């Protein structure tokens, strides 16, 4: 009888341990949605630099942002671009304007520097296609209330590419993908 009681006690403790582990795993890999259910969030993207070469692109038209259950998103609209959009995205210690090297302060715990191979002006006329100003927040972008994004700064449009500094809460995993003629940068809320 004593062995049965000991075995039952061991099963109860093991079950309690599994329940505690499941709760912890849910808390670190996901977050609650509006209904209170846990959402599984992939963080396998890593935080290392990501680069792609392009096959020619059009001027940058707009930059927008959005909030999602697992990440904050920045979208670069390069309307009319055909083929692969080129980019170079990675964390930097300081954000320095391309061309001049001037330091541009960016708020947050880490800075993600984004280069998109699309000028913010028309190469044929020289007229601006995106109204970004060096060192200023991105025009029309409001990140108030975002979980990961903390600041945005326009760097420069220099030698056919546009540079943006994105201040984030901490050095978190991110991914870069293309959807049609838009370049998407997602930064996860957690590891």
What's the token pair of residue 147? 């979980």
- The domains of the chain are located at 2-40, 50-188
The mean pLDDT of the chain is: 84
Read off the pLDDT of residues 132-169 as tens digits, 9 standing for 90 and up: 999 999 999 999 999 999 999 999 999 999 999 999 99
- pLDDT, tens digit, for every residue of 82-93? 889 999 999 999
Q: Is pTM beyond 0.75 here?
A: yes
Q: Which residues contact 130 (CB under 8 A, 6 or more apart)?
A: 59, 60, 61, 62, 63, 120, 121, 139, 157, 162
Which CATH number is associated with domain 50-188? Answer: 2.60.40.3500
Which H/E stretch holds residue 178? strand 174-179
Which pLDDT belongs to residue 14?
Answer: 38
Q: Which residues in the chain land under pLDDT 70? A: 1-39, 55
Nearest to 153 by CA among 111, 117, 187, 99: 111
């Amino acid at each position: 009888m004593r062995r049965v009681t000991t075995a039952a006690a061991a099963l109860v403790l093991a079950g309690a341990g599994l329940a505690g582990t499941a709760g912890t795993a849910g808390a670190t890999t996901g977050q609650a949605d509006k209904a209170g259910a846990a959402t599984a969030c992939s963080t396998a993207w890593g935080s290392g630099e990501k680069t792609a070469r392009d096959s020619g692109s059009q001027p940058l038209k707009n930059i927008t942002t959005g909030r999602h259950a697992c990440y904050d998103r920045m979208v670069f609209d390069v309307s009319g671009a055909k083929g692969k959009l080129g980019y170079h995205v990675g964390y930097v210690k300081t954000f320095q304007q391309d061309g001049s090297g001037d330091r541009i302060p960016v708020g947050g715990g880490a800075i993600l520097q984004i280069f998109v191979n699309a000028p913010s002006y028309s190469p044929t006329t020289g007229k601006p296609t995106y109204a970004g100003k060096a060192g200023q927040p991105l025009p029309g972008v409001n990140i108030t209330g975002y979980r990961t994004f903390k600041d945005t700064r326009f760097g420069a449009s220099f030698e056919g590419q546009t540079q943006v500094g994105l201040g984030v809460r901490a050095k978190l995993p991110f991914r870069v993908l293309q959807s049609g003629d838009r370049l998407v940068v997602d930064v996860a809320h957690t590891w």
